[in-house]
Amino acid sequence: MSGDGEGIKGCPGKEPGELFRAGRLVKVCAPMVRYSKLAFRTLVRKYSCDLCYTPMIVAADFVRSAKARDSEFTTNKGDNPLIVQFAAKEAQVLCDAARIICPFADGIDLNCGCPQRWAMAEGYGACLINKPELVRDMVRHVRNQIDNPGFSVSIKIRIHEDLKRTVDLCQKAEATGVSWITVHGRNVEERHQPVHYDAIKVIKESVSIPIVANGDIKTLKDAENVHHLTGADGVMVARGLLANPAMFAGYEETPLKCIQDWVNIALEHGTPFTCFHHHLMYMMERITSKQEKKVFNVLSSTSAVLDYLNNHYGVC
Establish whether 316 is a catalytic residue.
no
Continuous segment of H or E residues that includes residue 138 = helix 132-145
Annotated binding-site residue? 85? yes
- Give CA separation, 291 vs 29, 63, 296, 297, 303, in Å: 31, 47, 9, 10, 20
Annotated binding-site residue? 56? no
Burial of residue 313 (CB within 10 Å: 0-12, 13-18, 19+) is: middle
Annotated binding-site residue? 32? yes
Helix (H, G, I), strand (E, B) or coil at 117: helix
Among 49, 95, 102, 114, the active-site one is 114
Annotated binding-site residue? 263? no
Query: Position 113: which residue type?
Result: G
Sequential DSSP letters for 23-74: TSPEEEEPP-TTTSSHHHHHHHHTTT--EEEPPPEEHHHHHH-HHHHHHH-E
Annotated binding-site residue? 227? no
Annotated binding-site residue? 238? yes
Residues 6+ apart with CB under 8 A from 66: 1
Annotated binding-site residue? 207? no
Do 136 and 1 touch, CB atoms closer than 8 A? no
* Alpha carbon 93 to chain centroid, angstroms: 21
Residue positions forming the annotated binding site for FMN: 31-33, 85, 184, 238-239
Active-site annotation, residues: 114
Residue positions forming the annotated binding site: 31-33, 85, 184, 238-239
